[in-house]
Amino acid sequence: MIQAYSKEIASGFSDPSDEYLTENLQVIYSTSTEILHVKWFGEVGSKEFREGYSHILRMVRVHKPSKWILDLKNRELLNKEDQHWVFKNIFPQILRMLKQDVFIAVILPVPLYESLIHNIDGDDFIDNDNLLIMNHFLYYEECLRWLAEVQVADIS
């Protein structure tokens, strides 16, 4: 399953820092599309989940991706505390780090997406004038179309 996903997005990355892989997490930065692909698999414990996001943050520091695909369709449910931790700690940190709008395309079945975003405080998705914009999709191709359409402001 991981190999098929890698082949689907692997064009455009060549540096070993462009990929991180564990049994339950694959993170690839595609230099050709400038999209960070994060895919979680199976049952993920709290420790592994938080360690995975520390690797994701390292890749964000290196590549500064403003466009992401966060594929959660094959991941088991997380506990609410870990979900809350990502929204309260990781996403605001990414916004502060990048200092630009961030677009995250989430692949997840509709009922799971509803429970994921329930009780989210939108203030965690704003830093100065920059926004973290999350959109829900059922298929990978839809994510690519949306991310190709969004415009990231040039910060230089």
Where is pLDDT greater, at 138 or 121? 138
| Arithmetic mean of pLDDT, 56-72 | 95
Report percent pLDDT > 70 for the chain: 77
What's the token pair of residue 95? 């916004």
Where is pLDDT greater, at 64 or 21? 64
Q: What is the pLDDT of residue 9?
A: 47
pTM of the model as a whole? 0.80
Beta-strand runs (E) in the chain: 19-21, 25-30, 35-42, 67-75, 102-107, 126-127, 130-137
The Cα 57–Cα 97 span in angstroms is: 9
Please name each of the domains of the chain with its CATH number.
Answer: 2-148 (3.30.750.24)
pLDDT(3) > 50: no
